[in-house]
Amino acid sequence: MIAARLADLDPSRLGDDLRLLVDAGTRWRDGAPLYVPVPPGTSLSAESLFYSYPPLVAQAMSLVAGVPFPAIYVTWTAGAVAGLWLVAVRLGRDGRAVAFPALALAPFLYPLAVALLMGNVNAWFPAAFGLVLAAVLVAGRGWTLTGGSALALATVAKLHPASLGIWLLVRGVRDARSGRSGSALLVLAVAATVGLGLLAVSLAVGGIAPWADYVAFLRESSGAADVVSPLNVGPASQIALLFGLSDETARSLQVVVGVIAIAGTAIAAWALDDRVESFAWATVASLVILPVTWFHYPVALVPVALVAASRARGAAWRRTALLLAAAIVTAALAIVAPVVVWVAAALVLGAARASSPEAT
């Protein structure tokens, strides 16, 4: 119903974020500039729709730029949902079946629903982060290759998932030192190889100029973007709102937030024995690496919820189910107050701990 209402608007708002990517692909195909110039003394609103992805995304979208947008949107959405189904089947294989419940509940998980309706790249993050988690939990060359490739693709699109590489590195070293079998380092190696391969393809196709423009855009926009907004649930933005601080101060705070997030990722990888809870903390940390965190970003925690729901037993199952149900309800309430989505994320973290083998 909401999709139909968005589609009936003039112009249509259904798939706005995806349309932005397709338009960038069209500009690349036509040889037009990808990035909005930021003149001195002006600012960019964080809520404004402007292309801020690496050139590789526009280069990829140029391959479908001539296809009617409804067909692109339907295929994009179906692919994201199919990815959710794939990881739900894989992560629930050794416990309760969670694939059908996951699909049944997906429309009511508001951050995911919003990502799907807007055609945002984050709609694919349950699949991408889930494939990385599956590659760590499940032995097998195929899952290692798939998980590493998924991390590389997520990183070249949104940048902030790169912090999971720190988790894989530290976790891999920890596992090796303890004599515990694991594929974290292999997943990281695949991600690095695929990422460098994608960069090489981009440079071969378009040369260095688009990347130079991208770096210049990041440099200009980092000092001009208005990041303080109720819709930006990132810690720096919310602290600035709470104390009435300026955008400049918020950008300085973001440096501290980023350092804490990176340190927290390494600590979680080393200190927490349970791989699922450790991965959950690293996922949350990855969401605050950049200055802007939107309401739909925590969909990356969906794979953690799937594992928690699948592996819990006995009394731990009841606690886990209650925590996950509360997370879904809280995420719905966050439509009114977006910052409340962090409460939902905390509930998923609680579910990861409640479902751990030690808890049962």
User: What are the tens digits of pLDDT across the range 313-348?
Assistant: 988 999 999 999 999 999 999 999 999 999 999 999
- The confidence band for 127, taking pLDDT boundaries of 50, 70 and 90, is very high
pTM for this entry: 0.94
Question: Of 330, 314, 325, which Cα lies nearest the Cα of 95?
Answer: 314
Encoding tokens for residue 181?
């079998």
Q: How many CA atoms lie within 13 A of 326 on its CB side?
A: 17
| pLDDT tens track for 178-204 | 877 668 999 999 999 999 999 999 999
CB atoms inside a 10 Å sphere around CB 306: 29
Q: What sign has the CA pseudo-torsion 67, 196, 119, 22?
A: negative
CB 98, CB 310: distance < 8 Å: yes
